[in-house]
Structure 1
Amino acid sequence: MKLRKEIEPQIHVAEFRYPKVLQCIMDYDAYLSTNDDEDRSEYTKLTERLQQLTGKDISTYNLWEWWEEEGAEVLAFRISLPAPKQVNDFSKIELTEVIRRMGSYRQPEAGWEEQTFEENFRIYLVDYYHELLKLNFKTYNYQKIFGPQRSRDHKPGWLTDEEKVAALWNDGNFK
C-alpha cells in the first residue's frame, strides 16, 4: 500500500541528495587521513555544507565516528532522507501500514549493485517511521510498543502488529 505524500518517506529526494552528501562525508574523511582538525574548522564546514544541502539539523548525526557504526553510505542516506512531518489526519489504515512496514524490512538478498536505491536502504527506514510515530501519536513510547512485554503468566513476549496499532490508536490503551 502506498501512503499519502505527507507520510511516505521521500526516497526520491534522498536519492537526489545522496551522491553529494556521501561525497562531502568522504572528502572530510580523506582530509582527516592526512591532516588533523583540532580546531574543528573542517568539521564545521562539513556540517554547514550538509545542512545547506539538506536543510536538516546535522548535530543529531555522528559525523566523527561513522565508520564504527553503519558506514558512510548509511550515514549519507540518513542525512539525505527528509525528516518525517506531523500530519493532522493520520488514519488507522495508514498507521497499520507503517507498523507492517516496520516489521517487514529485511537485509537485501542481492548484492548492492543489483538493487535499486530504495531496496538498498529500505531497512534503514525504520528510524524514519519511529520518528513519524513519535510526531503523530502523543502516547508513542518505544519501549511500551516495540519493546519486550510481560504476559499475564510473566513470560516475555512481543506485541503483535495489531496490538501495536491498537495501543497507538487508542492513546496507549490496549482495547
Structure 2
Amino acid sequence: MKLRDEIEPDFETAEKRYPEVLKLILEYTDYCDEHGDEDNKEYKKLEDKLHSMTGKEMSWFNLWEWWEGDGAEHLSFDISLPDPQIVTDITKDELTEIIRRMKTFEVPDPDDLSFKGMFYHYICFGSSYFPDFLKLNFNRYDIKLFQSHKDKNGNYYEYNQEEITDTLWNGGLNNPMKK
C-alpha cells in the first residue's frame, strides 16, 4: 500500500541534500584526521552548515564518531531526510501499513538501485523516521510495542502487527483535531 505524501518519507528532498551532507561529513573527518579539532571549532561550523541546509537540530547526531554508528552514509541520509510531521487525518489502514513496514523485512524491489531503493530497508528498520512519526501522531506510542518481552514462564514474545495497530489506534491520535 502506498502512503500519502505527507506520511511517506520525503526521499526526493533527502536525495537532493544527501551528496552535500555526505561530502561535508567526510571532509570534516579528513580534517580531524589531519589536524584534530580539540576546540570543536570545525565541528561547530559543520553543525551550523548542516542546520542551515536542513533546519534540523544537529545535537541529535554524532557527526564526529559516525563510524561507531551505522556509517557516514546512513548518518548523511538521516540528516538529509526531512522530519516526519503531524498528520491530522491518518486512517487505520495507513497506520497498519506503517506497522507492517516496521515489522516485516520485505523490500519492494531488491534490484532497485535508485536512491529510494538503496535506503528503503534502512528507513523501515534502522532509521527513526517511522518511530518518530508514530510518537508524534499517536498517544500510546511506546518503543516497547516493537521489542521482545518475557512472560511469567520465561518465554519470549513480541506483539504482532494487529496488536500494535490496535493499541496505537485505540489510544487515539495526538492531534486533537481528529478523534
Instruction: Give the TM-score normalised by structure 1.
Output: 0.88
Q: Distance between the aligned counterparts of 1:30 and 1:106, measured in 2?
A: 37
Cα-to-partner distance string for 1:44-74 (whole Å, 9 max, x where unaligned):
0000000111111111001121011111111
CA gap of 1:3–1:121, structure 2 versus 1, over 3 A, is: same
Q: Distance between the aligned counterparts of 1:46 and 1:75, measured in 2?
A: 14
How far the C-alpha of 1:3 sits from its partner, in A, is 1.0
How far the C-alpha of 1:25 sits from its partner, in A, is 0.2
Contiguous gaps of at least 5 residues in structure 1: none
Structure 1 residues 1-175: aligned runs within 5 Å: 1-105=1-105, 115-126=113-124, 127-143=128-144, 145-150=145-150, 155-171=155-171
Q: Is the 8 A contact 1:28 1:43 kept in 2?
A: yes
How far the C-alpha of 1:106 sits from its partner, in A, is 6.0
Q: Secondary structure at the match of 2:90?
A: coil
Q: Is the 8 A contact 1:139 1:171 kept in 2?
A: yes
Q: State the Cα RMSD in Å.
A: 2.0
How far the C-alpha of 1:88 sits from its partner, in A, is 1.2
Q: Distance between the aligned counterparts of 2:141 and 2:93, measured in 1?
A: 17
Contiguous gaps of at least 5 residues in structure 2: 173-179
Q: Distance between the aligned counterparts of 2:153 and 2:39, measured in 1?
A: 57
Q: Distance between the aligned counterparts of 1:16 and 1:104, measured in 2?
A: 28
How far the C-alpha of 1:118 sits from its partner, in A, is 1.2
- Residue 73 of structure 2 aligns to which amino acid in structure 1? E
- Residue 124 of structure 1 aligns to which amino acid in structure 2? Y
Cα-to-partner distance string for 1:122-168 (whole Å, 9 max, x where unaligned):
1221320000000000111111x111234586632111111110111
Q: Is the 8 A contact 1:105 1:122 kept in 2?
A: no
Q: Distance between the aligned counterparts of 2:104 and 2:115, measured in 1?
A: 18
Q: Distance between the aligned counterparts of 1:87 and 1:46, measured in 2?
A: 32
Q: Distance between the aligned counterparts of 1:102 and 1:119, measured in 2?
A: 16
- Residue 79 of structure 1 aligns to which amino acid in structure 2? I
**Number of equivalences:** 168
Q: Is the 8 A contact 2:29 2:64 kept in 1?
A: no
- Residue 117 of structure 2 aligns to which amino acid in structure 1? E
Cα-to-partner distance string for 1:50-101 (whole Å, 9 max, x where unaligned):
0111111111001121011111111100100000011111110100010111
- Residue 121 of structure 2 aligns to which amino acid in structure 1? I
Aligned-pair identity in percent equals 45
